[in-house]
A and B are shown apart, each in its own frame.
Chain A
């Protein structure tokens, strides 16, 4: 159970961190690097509050070992911010639609929805339907909103992104 030093790239910054083999990526991001936008929810990969992008793909921070992220690019919600900390257009849609209440699930919702829209547009499939948005977000639990406004926000962003008025931000 010897610890080891690994190089993590998080939101574009390099970090040298000392980890145990059994440390999850969630442990290191939240407790080690103080990233409060990656959150412990269930520890089983069901709730989605620890969602991060690993080389651009959503994964559960609680089901990924920190050592497995060495040498790969990790993006958390705050990695989506533009210059000067400007909100991502999808975050603006969440605000405009009132899609966050307590906010605990919001980082995971935003990252998962962004992946959905990016992937569909990249594959030439066009904007996702509301049913497809629901399906993509099935692994992100929200105990406040009842989901409707979250789906409204993602649908609005998908329209903007598909129309090119708000290109889906380049993969970080």
Chain B
């Protein structure tokens, strides 16, 4: 397997990448970590005329930002602090960086399940989101955490909630000349618990189904005030469970969690493929959602089960 011939341009800045994209049109692809794009080229599943390498464009590290500085209030999460992840943040950094482990432990844990050491050394969070794989652990966590991306285009920057980013199998709502520069994630809060579970045949494989959950308790740390559940591997894109499906969780009793997990699973229509049938995926969605909600609730109360 040999990649088809393509041309290559190194972009020294995101602005230069946008200019190159605008000039090349649909025939160009952005090269970030390349851990999904280069296999597609080697297998000749993609044939871009030009690769625009953004690796020279950004040397920033993860940092904290206030929501105001980031430009908008985080819908549904109130005002607060954001974890700012430059688009070229490698998976290895997500796994090991103190700010990520402290302020988005959900993501730091889920990245353990992504690829292998070499994939994590090169792969980037911006590239992963732009690739829009429906089984993506990172997309699943970004959705559950209420993340937004910053996209730079010919007319400047705009902010897009990850819930509006994915458009179907490996496709996004980004314009052809836009490039992701940052991922902004509302930071973990007091009385909030998280959990990530997935089913794979072998460690490092794509998830058959993955579930990311965040649960936040009320001020008395008794009732569940808010819950978000995102799933991967169940549709043509990573999917946020409808808030109405989780409305019955407030008491947090075991049977409430089981009922919510069943409602979430029933709302899905996963396709069958060579890896698993649709009905098995739906069953996994129910079991893993219940498991994730229980663990997230326990962590929110300070337990660690």
Contact = CB atoms under 8 A, between A and B. Distances in A.
Interface stretch (B1-9, B65-73, B233-241, B266-274): B1-9
A31 B106 CA distance: 43
Nearest to A27: B2
Given A138-B203, A138-B204, A139-B116, A20 B121 contact: no
Contacts of B254: none
A2 B9 CA distance: 11
Contacts of B203: 135, 138
B221 interface: no
A51 interface: yes
B119 A45 contact: yes
Interface residues on A, range: 20 to 34
A115 interface: yes
Contacts of B178: none
A124 to B, nearest CB: 13
A168 interface: no
B55 interface: yes
Interface string A56-85: 011110111101100000000000000000
A44 B8 contact: no
B39 interface: yes
A43 B43 contact: yes
Interface in B104-133: 115-119, 121-122
A157 to B, nearest CB: 17
B117 A20 contact: no
A21 B39 contact: no
Interface in A118-133: none
Contact of A45 (B4, B7, B10, B35): B35
A22 B39 contact: no
Contact of B42 (A51, A59, A62, A67): A62
14 contacts: A22-B4, A44-B39, A45-B116, A45-B119, A57-B92, A57-B121, A58-B117, A60-B118, A65-B53, A67-B10, A138-B202, A139-B118, A139-B204, A140-B116
